[in-house]
Structure 1
Amino acid sequence: MSPKTRAAERPQAPPELASYLEGLAEPHIVFDRRYRIVAANAAYRRQYSPEASVLGRTCYEVSHRFDVPCDLAGESCPYARSRESGQRERVLHLHHTPQGEAYIDIELTPLADAAGEAVLFVERMAPLRSAQGQPAQQGLIGRSPAFREMLEQVARVAPSEASVLLLGESGTGKELVARAVHEASARAAQALVVVDCASLPETLFEAEVFGHERGAFTGATSMRTGLAETANGGTLFLDEVGDIPLAMQVKLLRLLESGTFRRVGSSELRRTDVRVVAATHRDLGAMVADGRFREDLYYRLATFPIRLPPLREREGDLALLAEALLERVAPRRRLALAPAALTRLARHRFPGNVRELRNVLERAALFCDGPVIEPVHVERALAAGLPLARPAPAAEVPAPSLREISRQALRERLAAHGGRRADLARELGISERTLYRRLRELDAAEGESR
């Protein structure tokens, strides 16, 4: 078949659509039901094929360098999903670019003909700038399913104005994820302001976050703008939000609900426009139940919770992270990690996650005099780390059943809760109705024995 015949068989993108896409800043393509690209704007051509034409080639070959469609190569294919749903679909993919692999948020829109059948598909590609699928000098790095699931949630929520709550163990990279949310949002050109809630005592929290007027308290020799006002138009990142003093939580809630606050020492109501991303390693649900964290604030922060996977759940990411971290801790040495050394690292649990991995690699680099880190260097680095002192687990004593608790003991525990049966029932793990019935039974038995 001649090139002219093949060109005649290939569907054409409407000229108006091709012209419209050409002026867009993000890469866009139009392809047909056989995955063949029929239009590509300048941004796509620059990003994926600056030296050769992409027309007539398949999208999976140009963007992924695959020989088969994405869904046959282990990726989630937006085209396959759109054919099933008949609707617009979004996925997060690893694409090949001249600069290396990059995470791309893809949105695919089907275009129907006069009969209502989808014949062409428009694909928009937005890079997730803070994440990489290969070792990099900065940003998030990983390829594991757990890591990619987290990134897909970041890509979905970032363009919105929803509050985000990052949940994860210490050292999982919560500030990096907060930065990824900010940089993929419409607020990326404005400031990302970090509030380290764990380091602020209650006496300073209000002044630091909301600012203060001159003379508001001893030492306030001048007016100071607070972090909430500094973040106006951008993102306010509340790190370790579980450490915010209870008395300050209601003022923070007012800021989130209405965008208003007052500086310390002022009665003037001020406004700020911020998108809030919060993070914690604590169990906020348990803190709410214990009365240590406001329930209304919790639900305001947790509009879109994202769980950050610990390193032990990120299968296959250790080698990528180790290569990138070695470049960061010893940039001039070009160190390599021996396969046996990587195997030894993989056997470690890393309770401190990526932060602990970085520390171990930095110590191993200091123990190593040559160009290759061997298992002996890793062993010394692990041994040099001071293990956290953890209390020995107490011997388990079965909790007494409700039937085994005496009337007097129940009455004493009820008194300790100020007579609130609901609180005692919660402590015992039973319903308030069950507790009430048991108390009545014990009172009746006590009366009969007299």
Structure 2
Amino acid sequence: MNATRAPATDELPELSAFLESLPEPHIVFDRRYRIVAANAAYREQFGTGTSVIGRTCYAVSHHFSAPCDQSGESCPLARSRESGQRERVLHLHHTPQGEAYVNIELTPLRDAQGAGAYFVEKMEPLRVAQGTAAAQGLIGRSAPFQAMLELVARVGPSQASVLLLGESGTGKELVARAVHDASPRAARPLVVVDCASLPETLFESELFGHEKGAFTGAHAAKAGLIEAAAGGTLFLDEVGDIPLAIQVKLLRLLESGTFRRVGGTEWRRADVRLVSATHRDLYAMVADGRFREDLFYRLSTFPIHLPPLRERRGDIPLLVEALLARLAPARRLSLAPTAMARLAQHPFPGNVRELRNVLERAALLSDGAVVGTAAIERALAAGVPRAPATPKLATPPPRGAGRPLRPLREAELEVLRTALAAHQGNREALARALGVSLRTLYRKLRALQAPG
């Protein structure tokens, strides 16, 4: 709403009638936070069965006894008074269905002296996150979580490229989906590309597609993942693992919106919004020449840092409740208070993914409906690597050193097979244990299996 003049008292009915025509929830309140008008959309989504007229906005929305900025929340009215402009914030509001995240846009209506006599507040529920334990989506209430979520809410409706930065297990794919769901492209596909697991030889054709006869085995033309995401969002997970040769072509896609299939001559136009993610230090990779600087700046138009779990410990009880409901819905499990306190002390280097694994192990170790401290201790201990560590890969001798290469290749391959069996075929876990990237591990396996 772009009104600039505050209505007189006798004009409020006219303003109320105008608000009734708007599809989004709107309220009008005065300088003392008292609600003077609320439209049907607001009454339907946030109504509590009683009239809100005459009540304060902070009492209705938050059940606070004082304004938001005096109760630990950011107050859009206070911010608007300082700036004299429209203000946007993300709040947790009470609704008949429980607490929900809501995007607030507040517009001051000015009187003859230029001061804000009334304020119009538009509310848009952010459906991709919850402030309570939920079956799906992002969950949290802590300040770092809300700061991240506010950035998601701001960038979601735009077309800007988003770069998600954070440690492994912080939920980057969930945040990518939240960005997609908050965008005008939400009805179109979200296509996920796991850059770490794609072999370099297949990367280009998987991403851009290929024409018939482009290479051995290309018996028919095939659209790539970019075309599969047409009209939607392309999520490049672990973007730091993209080969340099492909980075050049990805840069062209971002700069011109065009690409060519492998073996093709026709330039195709891509209608995709790009979201990428990495746990790597891309700044260091740029400095080392392992990642193109121009591509980095194209990808990071709007960077969002995902907080590790140790920085949002207050969210652990919510996450525990939601994860237990997903892991064992029929058992209705809960944690003993001492077990919850033990989890709150754990550093969780693997973040939410590690918490999920710990809870799954603890659930399997428990027979009753309450998971105790002993089960949590056993579950935590089971996730700690034990000595002796996985044998390191042997270093091949220099060429010409006079030592036979074939026996060494076979010995290394045997070491890899043994290590892989110890990790139950989990190549990602093996790569972490060996201290190498997943792509390096695949390359090593292919090299050792090659003849010669």
Note the 1:44-443 alignment, pairs <5 A. Answer: 44-49=42-47, 51-387=49-385
Distance 1:300 1:13 in 2: 49
CA distance in 1, matches of 2:37, 2:69: 22
Counterpart in the other structure of 1:402? none
Counterpart AA for 1:143: R
Quote the Cα distance in structure 2 between the aligned partners of 1:13 and 1:332: 57
Partner SS state of residue 102, structure 2: strand
Structure 1 residue aligned with 2:429: none
| Deviation (angstroms), 1:14 | 4.1
Q: What SS does the aligned partner of 2:49 have? A: coil
Letter in 1 for 2:314: G
SS in structure 1 of the partner of residue 385 of structure 2: coil
Contact 1:196 1:238 in 2 (8 A): yes
Q: Distance in 2 between matches of 1:251 and 1:14?
A: 57
- Given that 2:190 and 2:234 are in contact with CA atoms closer than 8 Å, whether structure 1 keeps it comes out as yes
Secondary structure of 1:267's counterpart equals: coil
Task: Give the whole-Å Cα distance in 1 for the aligned partners of 2:386 and 2:37.
Answer: 58
Instruction: Quote how far apart the aligned CAs of 1:63 are.
Output: 1.5
Cα drift, residue 386 of structure 1: 4.2
What is the match of residue 32 of structure 1? 30
Shift, 1:72, TM fit: 1.5
- One-letter amino acid matched to 1:184: A
Q: 2:230 & 2:387 partners in 1: Cα distance? A: 42
What is the Cα deviation at residue 13 of structure 1?
5.7
Task: Tell me the CA shift for residue 281 of structure 1.
Answer: 0.2
**Identity value in percent:** 75
Of the two, which has the highest radius of gyration?
A: 1
> Match of 2:295, as an amino acid?
L
Aligned partners of 2:190 and 2:235 also within 8 Å:
yes
Work out the CA distance in 2 between the residues paired with 1:381 and 1:51: 46
Change in 2 beyond 3 A, CA 1:179/1:389: farther
Question: In the alignment, which residue of structure 2 is the partner of 1:423?
Answer: none
How many residues end up aligned between the 2 structures?
382
Cα deviation 1:42-78 (Å, max 9, x = unaligned): 1110111153222222211221122221112111100
Shift of 1:315: 3.0
Instruction: Specify the SS of the correspondent of 1:316.
Output: helix
User: TM-score, normalization: structure 1?
Assistant: 0.82
Preserved CA contact (<8 Å) 1:128 1:180 = no
Q: Assess if the C-alpha contact under 8 Å between 1:13 and 1:38 holds in 2.
A: no
Alignment-derived partner of residue 410 in structure 2: none
CA distance in 1, matches of 2:202, 2:40: 52
Distance 1:389 1:13 in 2: 77
- Structure 2: which 5+ residue stretches go unaligned? 1-7, 390-452
8 Å Cα contact 1:12/1:38 also seen in 2 = no
Bigger mean CA deviation after superposition, 208-217 or 336-345: 208-217
Give the AA of the match of 1:254.
R
Counterpart Cα distance in 2 of 1:21 and 1:164: 34
Distance 1:133 1:390 in 2: 43
Aligned counterparts of 1:106 and 1:321: Cα–Cα separation in 2: 25
Q: Deviations over 1:7-38 (max 9, x none)?
A: xxx94664454333323332111111111212
Aligned equivalent of 1:397: none
In 1, are the aligned partners of 2:46 and 2:96 still within 8 Å (CA)? yes
Across the aligned residues of Structure 1 and Structure 2, the Cα RMSD in angstroms comes to 1.7
Residues 263, 323 of structure 1: alpha-carbon distance in 2 compared, 3 angstrom cutoff: same
Q: In structure 1, what residue type is equivalent to 2:80? A: S
**Counterpart secondary structure, 1:232:** coil
CA distance in 1, matches of 2:186, 2:118: 32
Three-state SS of the structure 2 residue aligned to 1:198 is coil
Give the secondary structure class of the aligned counterpart of 1:199.
coil
Amino acid aligned to 1:369: D
Partners of 1:341 and 1:388 lie apart in 2 by 23
State the 1:221 CA deviation. 2.2
Which secondary structure does the structure 1 equivalent of 2:113 belong to?
coil
Deviations 1:144-192 (A, max 9, x none): 1111111111112112211111000000000111111111112112111
8 Å CA contact 2:313–2:344 kept in 1: the answer is no
What is the alpha-carbon distance in structure 2 between the residues aligned to residue 229 and residue 18 of structure 1?
Answer: 47
- Between 1:193-202 and 1:212-221, the stretch displaced more is 212-221
